[in-house]
Chains A and B, each alone.
Chain A
Amino acid sequence: MKNSKKTKKGLIVGFFFAALFAGLFSSCEKAVAAKEDPESMKVYGESEAEMTAPPFVPRPVGKRAATKLIVNMEVIEKEMEMSDGVTYVYWTFDGTVPGSFIRTRVGDEIEFHFKNHPDSKLPHNIDLHAVTGPGGGAESSFVAPGHESVFTFKTMNPGLYVYHCATAPVGMHIANGMYGLILVEPEGGLPPVDKEYYVMQGDFYTEGENGERGLQAFSMEKAVNEDADYVVFNGKVGGLTGDNALTAKVGETVRLYVGNGGPNLVSSFHVIGEIFDKVYVEGGAMINENVQTTLIPAGGAAIVEFKVEVPGNLVLVDHSIFRAFNKGALGILKVEGEENPKVFGGKIEEKVYNPGTSVSGVTEEATEGGLSAEMSMAEKMERGKQVYTQNCLACHQATGAGIPNAFPPLASSDYLNKDVHRAIEVVKFGLTGEIQVNGNVYNSAMPKQNISDEDVAAVLTYVYNNWGNNKSEVTQEMVKKVK
C-alpha cells in the first residue's frame, strides 16, 4: 500500500516536471512511451522459470523487472488414472494434465527449451497463445522423440493464456491432455491475494463408456462427434476432490486461474456457494464484478477472484450440469474457519409443509365418489405392495424395519397393532410430533399420503399382514369412516 502511494506521488511529480519542461525535454515523452511498449522493454539478468504442477502456481512476479526467462518443459507420454479403475495413456507437458503453470511478466524474453522424452511415440510441439508469432511457436518447437528444440519470444500482452500441442492430428493431441496455462502478469504484477490455484477443464473420449474399467483407448469417433465420456478438472475424475481438494481459510481472497483445454466443450464455470467478486474476462484486462457463472471457451481462460466469508465446501463445477454429475466436472474448495451467521445463517428450522391440496387433484376426486368394489384379500396384498413401494418404502424400508431415530418400524409394531383406526388416520392425514414405537421415541413428521381410500385399505392390509403384525384386514369402509 505504502509503495503504491509512493509510486503515485512519484508519478505526479514526474508529470509536473514533464509538463513544466515539455518544451525543453522532448525526450521525456519518448521515454514514457518506450516504457509502455513491451517490445522495447529492456530485460535485466537471466533466470530459470519456476514451474509448478497443478493445482499450484509459481510465485508472483511482483515488482521485478522484465528478464530473460529460461523455461524448461518436457513432453511425457504415460499411463495415468482417469477415474477409479480406469486408466488412459495421457500425452503431457511435464507429466501432468494440465501441464506445468508458466508465470512470466510482460516484456520478458522467454527462451523456451522444449524436450520430447525418448520414450515418446510421437513428435510434439507447443502453441502458446501468449506468443505473438507464427503458430504461437508451434513450428519452431516441433520436436521428435528424444530431441530438444529451443525457441524464443517476448511476452507482448499481459493476460492468462492457454498453451497446447498443435501437432497433427491436433485434436487428438489435445484430447490426450496436451494443454496448460501461461500467465503474463502486467508490469508490477497482479494485486496480491491470499491463495492462488490452477484449475483446468478438459474433455476425454474413451473406447469404453464412462466408468468402464481398465486401460481405455482414445475414441476418435466420439471425439469427432463431441460425445465426451469424461469432463474433468485437472486431468481426471477426482482431480480436485478428496485429498486433492483446494483449501482456504475464512476471510481469505482466493484467485483461481481457470483454463479450458477442450478439445471440444465450452465450460460454464461456476463455484457453488460463491459469487466471483472479480472476473478477468477471458483472461484479459477487462474486469467484471459480481459474476455467478463465467463462460470459458475451449482454448481460453479466465481469472476469477472471490473472498471466502464462511466455512464449508465450495463446489467447482461446469454448470452444464450433467457434466458435473455424470462425467466428473466437480472440484472442492474446502474453506475452514469460524461460522459467520451474519453472512450465512444456515438452517434454523425445518417443518412440515401441508397446503391441504393435491397438485394432481386426481386422487382427491376419486375419494369423493362412493366406494368402488372391495378388493379380495389377494388383490389387496398385491395392490398394497405396489402402493407401499411407491409411497412408504423410502422411509420405512422394504422390510418395514424403518430407520433408527428417524422413521419408526412397521414390522412387529406395537403402535400399529394397538389401533387400526389410528393407523388409517396417520396414512390419510399425516402425523407430526412425538410417538413411541416398540419402546423407542420418534419425533419427526409423516406427510399426508395423497392416495385413494382403496389404496389406503390395500397398503395397510399389506402392512398388517406382513412382518409379524396382527393380520388385520382394512376395508374401504373403515378408511372412509376415518375423518
Chain B
Amino acid sequence: MKTLIRLAVCIAVMIQSQAYSQSGSMVEVKGGEFIPLYGTKTEVPVGDFLMDVYPVTNAEFQQFVESNPRWRKSQVKKLFADDNYLRNWKDDLSLGEGMLPNSPVTNVSWYAAKNYCECQGKRLPTVDEWEYVAMANEKQPDARTEKTYNQFILSWYETPDTYKKTIGNTFKNYWGVYDLHGLVWEWTSDFNSVMIGGESRKDSTGDNNLFCGAAAVGATDLMNYAAFMRYAFRGSMKAQYSVKNLGFRCVQDVEKSEL
C-alpha cells in the first residue's frame, strides 16, 4: 500500500517536474565496450541508455522536496542523509543565500539522489556508464589519452567553488552531455563497488579493488590521475553522506523510454 502511494506521488512529481524543468532533456548514448581504470585487460560492456544532458539543478530538487516532504531537511531520516544534507538551504523549501536555481544541486545523499531519479522513472548511472560517457571530449568518444582532456579535468579538481556555477557552463561532449567535468562530482548507483581505500599504495590483494589507486598494479592507465581521483572520491563516500561538491544526474534504459 505504502509503496503504491509512494509511486503515485512519484508519478505526480514526474509529470510536474518534467513540465517545469530541463530534466526532460536526455540524449542517447550508444553502448560499447571500454576498459575502465580499475580493469586489467578485460573490456566492460555498456548497453545503450539515455542520460540527462545536465546535472540535476537546485530548482529541480526544490520541486522534488516540495512534493516529497520526507526529503525535506527537517524531516529526512538520519539513516538516509547525514547532517550535511541540503546544508546550505535556508530552510526546508528555500535555497540559501547566493545559491542559484540553475546551479547543480549538491549536499544530497545517495538515497535522496536515487529516489529522485526513481520518481522520474529513471535511475542513477552505474560507475561504468558514467565513466563511459565521461571519457569523451567534444570530438571523440574516448579522449583519455589526450593531454588537454586530462589537464582540463585536473584543473577543475583544483579550482575552488565550481559547484556555484550554473549548468551548461562547460563543454558539450561527443554524446551531447554537458558538465560531466567542471562543476561537481556525481553520484553513481554503485559508487562504492570499486574500492579505493584510504591507503593508496597498497598492492591490490585480489579483491576487486583499487584499494589503492596506486594500486598501480590493478589500474590500467597510470596517467589518468583525474580518474584516480574520482575513484578515490567515490571510495570515501557512504550512502548517507552529503557533500558540497557532489551532485548527480539520472539515466534511463532505452527500452523503457520507448514504451
A and B: interacting chains: yes
C-alpha spacing A79/B225, complex, angstroms:
20
Q: Beyond A144-B241, A145-B244, is A135–B158 a contact (Cβ under 8 Å)?
A: no
Which of B150, B160, B229, B237 lies in contact with A144, CB distance below 8 A?
A: B237
Mask of A219-234 contacts with B, CB within 8 angstroms, 1/0: 0110010000000000
C-alpha spacing A145/B233, complex, angstroms:
9
Which of A118, A141, A167 lies in contact with B243, CB distance below 8 A?
A: A118
Chain A contacts for B244, CB-based, 8 A: 118-119, 145-146
A161 at the interface (CB under 8 A from B): no
A332 at the interface (CB under 8 A from B): no
Complex interface residues of chain A between 92 and 134 (CB less than 8 A to chain B): 118-123, 125, 127, 134
C-alpha spacing A168/B232, complex, angstroms:
6
| A169 and B214 contacting across the interface, CB-CB below 8 Å | yes
Complex interface residues of chain A between 417 and 453 (CB less than 8 A to chain B): none
Complex interface residues of chain B between 224 and 254 (CB less than 8 A to chain A): 225, 228-229, 231-233, 235-238, 241-246
**Quick one: closest B residue to A114, CB to CB?**
B198
B99 at the interface (CB under 8 A from A): no
| B154 and A220 contacting across the interface, CB-CB below 8 Å | yes
**Quick one: closest B residue to A137, CB to CB?**
B198
Q: Beyond A121-B157, A144-B243, is A170–B214 a contact (Cβ under 8 Å)?
A: yes
Q: Smallest distance from the beta carbon of A117 to chain B beta carbons, Å?
A: 9
**Quick one: closest A residue to B245, CB to CB?**
A121
**Quick one: closest B residue to A207, CB to CB?**
B151
Q: Beyond A77-B160, A119-B160, A218-B158, is A142–B241 a contact (Cβ under 8 Å)?
A: no
Mask of B202-220 contacts with A, CB within 8 angstroms, 1/0: 1000000010111100000
C-alpha spacing A135/B229, complex, angstroms:
19
**Quick one: closest A residue to B232, CB to CB?**
A168
| A134 and B160 contacting across the interface, CB-CB below 8 Å | no
| B158 and A139 contacting across the interface, CB-CB below 8 Å | no
Which of A118, A134, A135, A168 lies in contact with B213, CB distance below 8 A?
A: A168
Q: Beyond A78-B160, A217-B155, is A169–B229 a contact (Cβ under 8 Å)?
A: yes
C-alpha spacing A125/B196, complex, angstroms:
12
By the criterion of a CB under 8 Å from any partner CB, how many residues of chain B are at the interface?
A: 43
Which of A89, A168, A169, A217 lies in contact with B160, CB distance below 8 A?
A: A89
C-alpha spacing A144/B241, complex, angstroms:
8
| A119 and B161 contacting across the interface, CB-CB below 8 Å | yes
Q: Beyond A78-B160, A118-B84, A167-B232, is A140–B198 a contact (Cβ under 8 Å)?
A: yes
Chain B contacts for A138, CB-based, 8 A: 197-200
Chain B contacts for A79, CB-based, 8 A: 160
Chain A contacts for B200, CB-based, 8 A: 138, 166-170
| B237 and A134 contacting across the interface, CB-CB below 8 Å | no
| A147 and B214 contacting across the interface, CB-CB below 8 Å | no
Chain B contacts for A217, CB-based, 8 A: 151, 154-155, 158
Q: Beyond A168-B232, A220-B223, A220-B225, is A142–B197 a contact (Cβ under 8 Å)?
A: yes
Q: Smallest distance from the beta carbon of B187 to chain A beta carbons, Å?
A: 12
C-alpha spacing A105/B233, complex, angstroms:
34
Chain B contacts for A459, CB-based, 8 A: none
Chain B contacts for A324, CB-based, 8 A: none
A172 at the interface (CB under 8 A from B): yes
| A168 and B236 contacting across the interface, CB-CB below 8 Å | no
| A172 and B201 contacting across the interface, CB-CB below 8 Å | no
C-alpha spacing A134/B199, complex, angstroms:
9
Q: Smallest distance from the beta carbon of B247 to chain A beta carbons, Å?
A: 13
| A167 and B225 contacting across the interface, CB-CB below 8 Å | no
| B197 and A224 contacting across the interface, CB-CB below 8 Å | no
Chain B contacts for A78, CB-based, 8 A: 160
A317 at the interface (CB under 8 A from B): no
Which of B84, B154, B223, B235 lies in contact with A224, CB distance below 8 A?
A: B223
| B198 and A135 contacting across the interface, CB-CB below 8 Å | yes
Chain B contacts for A162, CB-based, 8 A: none
Chain B contacts for A143, CB-based, 8 A: 198, 236
Q: Smallest distance from the beta carbon of A427 to chain B beta carbons, Å?
A: 58
B159 at the interface (CB under 8 A from A): yes
Chain B contacts for A140, CB-based, 8 A: 198
C-alpha spacing A428/B63, complex, angstroms:
93
| A169 and B158 contacting across the interface, CB-CB below 8 Å | no
Which of A120, A121, A125, A146 lies in contact with B199, CB distance below 8 A?
A: A125
Complex interface residues of chain B between 118 and 141 (CB less than 8 A to chain A): none
B144 at the interface (CB under 8 A from A): no
Interface centre among A144, A166, A171, A172 (most CB of B within 10 A): A144
C-alpha spacing A118/B84, complex, angstroms:
9
Q: Beyond A147-B241, A220-B223, is A166–B201 a contact (Cβ under 8 Å)?
A: yes
| B245 and A142 contacting across the interface, CB-CB below 8 Å | no
| A220 and B150 contacting across the interface, CB-CB below 8 Å | yes
**Quick one: closest B residue to A173, CB to CB?**
B200
Q: Beyond A143-B236, A220-B154, is A168–B161 a contact (Cβ under 8 Å)?
A: no
Complex interface residues of chain A between 61 and 104 (CB less than 8 A to chain B): 77-79, 89
A interface residues with partner B (beta carbon < 8 Å) = 77-79, 89, 118-123, 125, 127, 134-135, 138-147, 166-172, 176, 207, 217-218, 220-221, 224
Closest 8 A-B residue pairs measured CB to CB? A168-B213, A142-B198, A123-B236, A135-B199, A168-B200, A125-B198, A144-B236, A138-B199
23 contacts between A and B (CB under 8 A): A78-B160, A79-B160, A118-B84, A121-B157, A121-B245, A122-B229, A122-B232, A135-B198, A135-B199, A139-B197, A139-B198, A144-B237, A145-B243, A146-B87, A147-B82, A166-B198, A167-B236, A168-B196, A168-B213, A169-B200, A170-B214, A217-B158, A218-B158
- Beyond A119-B160, A146-B87: 12 further Cβ-contacts under 8 Å? A122-B233, A135-B198, A135-B201, A139-B199, A146-B241, A166-B200, A168-B196, A169-B225, A169-B228, A169-B232, A217-B155, A220-B223
